[in-house]
Structures are given as C-alpha cells and as structure tokens.
Amino acid sequence: MQKPTDGVGRRLKRLRPVRRVSPVSRARRRAAAFVGVLTAQLSRVAPSARLGRSLAASVRPFATAERALPIAVAAIVAVASMLAFLPNTQGGSAGAAQGSPTSPRLAINGGIHYVAGSDSARTAAILDAQKVDASFQPVTLPGDVTTQPATEQASQSTGAVTADGTLITGYAPDSTVEDGSSLIQIYRVKKGDTLSTIAAGYHVSMMTLWWANKSAMKSKTDLHIGQLIKVPPANGLIVTVAANDTLDSLATKYNVDPQSIMDINQLTDPTLVVGQVLIIPGARGAPIPTPKPTPKLAATTHSTSSGSTRHSSGGSAPGIGGQYTGGRMSWPVIGGGNYISQYYHYGHWAIDIAAQYGSEVAAAASGRVIFAGWKSNGGGWQVWISHGGDLYTTYNHMSAITVAVGESVSRGEQVGRIGQSGDATGPHLHFEVWVGPIWNGGQRMNPLDYL
C-alpha cells in the first residue's frame, strides 16, 4: 500500500479526536505552576543558597496539584478574613453607608445604628436619628393618672456620690428647728439710753430687757454706747431648751399656758429639741439683786435764807433732830414678790419697785397728804406726802388711790394700789424722795439713803 503524502498525512492528523482538558485539571496545573514559581522565587530572594534550598525543600511536598488546590483556597479565605477586620478608611463609600462592626454605634429607640465616616458625618447621622417622626402621636393618659411631680423631692439625686465618698441613697430631710430666735430684735444703745427708755420704745417691761440681757450686764445701769441689747417680742423670758424639758414642763415651771408658748413661737410641733430657743410669754425671772445699803450717819439740819430747814447734802438719812422725827422710812410696797426693777441714776431720780398689779402701796413714814389724784407729768395716778422737815415722798403709776388731800397717815398705812398708769410699761411703783417743795425748787434724793 502506498504511503500517503505529507499533505494527506497532515489532514489525517487533523481528523483525530481532540483531547479536552477539564477545568479541574487546568486548575491543578495552574496551582502546580504557581507553587513552582513560588519555590523558585523563594530560592532566588533568600539571603543564602542554603536558606533558599531549605524553603524550596519545605514547599516541594505541596507542589502536587492535589495538595496545592486546598492550600490556595485556605490562603484566600485567610486573607479575606483579615481584610474584613481592617478599619474602613473610605469615607462615604457603600460600605460606610451600611456601617461595619468596628464603626461607632448609636443606640436609638431600641435599635443599634452604625455611624461611620468622618466626625461631621457621624454628627449629622446622630442629629438625623434624633428627629421625631412626624407620624408620632403622643399617648393620652387616663384622667386618674397624674403627670405632676411629687411634692417632696430629693435634695440630691439617688445614687449620687458626694466629695467625701458618701453615697446618696434616699431623701435628705429638712433639719430646720422651729424656735423663737427670729422674733428677738437687737437694739444698739445710744447716748442717754436706759433699760427703761429702751423698754418703753418696744412696749415691753424693763425687767423683760433685764432678764434677756442680764448675762452680759453687771447691773441694770451697766449700759454703754454701742452695746447690743436683745429685745423679746413680749413681756416674759427667753429660755433655751435643756435635755429634760418638754412643752408641758416649761409651762408648769413658769405658770403659763402651753398653747401660748406654741402661738408666740409659731410652733407646729409640740415636741421640743435640745438647744431650741423659746419665748415664754408672761414668765417671770429672778428679781434684780438689791445691794445692801451702806449705813449712814444721822443728818443734821440747818436754816436756809428763807428760814426753812434742810437736810445736809450727801444723801444722808433723815435724822431725829429738826422738824422730821420719823427716823428711817419703811418699804412702801406691801406683800412678797416685789423687787427693785430700776435703781436711782442720772435721768431716773427714783427707784422702781415691780410688784403684782393691785398690790398695796403704803406710806413710807407718817405725814400729811398734800396731793392725791392724776398728774400729767408721766406719773399717772399719784399721792404726795409731807413728812415734815421739808421732806416729801411721792407714789406714782398707781391703779387706785385710797387717801384724800389733807388726810394724816401713819407709817405703813395704805395709800393706793400698784398699777401702770401714766408712762409705764408694766405694773410697778415709782417712788421718789424730795428735799424741798416738790416740782417747785426741791431736789430728788436717792430713796435707798432713806429706807
């Protein structure tokens, strides 16, 4: 048989079936080629030939197609996973629009919103998320449900921690104590002031001022310009509540009505607190201690240019000689509980004897009544008695007169009753001793030199 020509042979080869390569085989070949190239590159760039050969030898077992494919797939997955955790630096991209797990999150209305991109973009997203939905309708509460806050509110929010580390867990109660401190006024003494003039200005008794200020005064005349004087709102005492004091015990002690204490101090709680300052209206304290008079020598008399006799100066007690023969005078108020509420001093030329209203007033010595009635000199209802020897006594502010002009009275005989007529702020007797005609050239002396 004759061999085909070259042209025919080539045509016959073209008619042979073509071997097709599957995608799997192609991928294996490519993976093997990739591993071969990688091995060659590692051998070329290694710092030494030995290192390159070692790496090539290490990779050679994986150079087969069956092993290279799963290794390549695993490498791709690993790279993709690492890229997923990298921060998104593309502001305004599609990924940023949807957010990523590492972007700042904002919880709004129960949902979590991712805010990515620049600060301005995050701020805009937050403001946009805070907008109220136009379709939102407020809930109408039933009529019996109140939306007003409670009357009592905590002074500090529960859970707050103070500077010293104290945890606030409840309400801080109001610890203010009701008392009469705010009712007490303060007066600054001026020139010419006395306790009596200050008391008259505030319509309280002189003794009320003495009781309120006796701890700072040695005597009732111990005043100086600029001194501060406490002035209670009414006649009575200022007390500080002690450990065992109660409202009833104080009322019993000072013989006053418990309700009057509540009213004047504007108390709403009858329970007292130690240190509480209270005004006890109508209460009375201890009398002003009366100094023991210094014994005086008997006074001598001498004639004046008018022919009348006068006692010698120095305030000595009336003597036995001359026209006055009564000796020392007796106390002009009958009954216990009376005391000197104001002494003889400049501007007050007498002594004031405080006593219960209506107590008996008695003549200090025997004599004759030369006046009995009302005088507009501030003394109100008053009696004047002449005792002879140009010596006189007057009894002022009385509530009743029991003698008449021209009547002779003996020592200790009643001439009237204690009152507060005229210029007086409390029941007392204003007792004067005159040497010379009363209000007609005579001179007022210290009554304690004659009693």
Same domain, 313 and 442: yes
Specify the CATH number for the domain of residue 315. Answer: 2.70.70.10
Please check whether residue 133 lies inside any domain of the structure.
no
| Residue 256 phi, psi dihedral angles, 5° rounding | -130, 170
Instruction: Render 34-55 in DSSP notation, one character per residue.
Output: HHHHHHHHHHHHSSSHHHHHHH
pLDDT at 159: 56
Please check whether residue 293 lies inside any domain of the structure.
no
**Nearest one of 432, 434, 429 to 414, comparing CA atoms:** 429
Same domain, 306 and 431: yes
Number of domains in the chain: 3
Same domain, 375 and 257: no
pLDDT at 413: 93
pLDDT at 109: 47
Please check whether residue 47 lies inside any domain of the structure.
yes
Same domain, 314 and 233: no
pLDDT at 310: 40
Please check whether residue 295 lies inside any domain of the structure.
no
Same domain, 245 and 349: no
Please check whether residue 129 lies inside any domain of the structure.
no
Distance CA 435, CA 200 (A): 29
Same domain, 232 and 275: yes
Please check whether residue 125 lies inside any domain of the structure.
no
3-state SS class at 72: helix
Same domain, 419 and 362: yes
Residue 260 belongs to domain spanning: 181-281
Q: What share of the chain is helix, strand, coil (3-state, %, to 5)?
A: 25, 20, 50
Same domain, 306 and 445: yes
Please check whether residue 60 lies inside any domain of the structure.
yes
Q: Report in angstroms the alpha-carbon separations of 1 from 4, 265, 347.
A: 9, 150, 177
pLDDT at 122: 63
Instruction: Render 153-207 in DSSP notation, one character per residue.
Output: --SS-TT-B-TTS-B--S---------SGGG-EEEE--TT--HHHHHHHHTS-HH
Same domain, 310 and 445: yes
Same domain, 391 and 349: yes
pLDDT at 350: 94
Segment-wise mean pLDDT, segments of 10 residues, the chain, 451 residues: 57 57 66 67 55 59 64 78 63 44 48 55 63 55 54 53 62 66 90 85 88 84 87 92 91 92 90 90 79 44 39 39 68 89 90 92 94 90 92 94 92 93 90 93 91 88
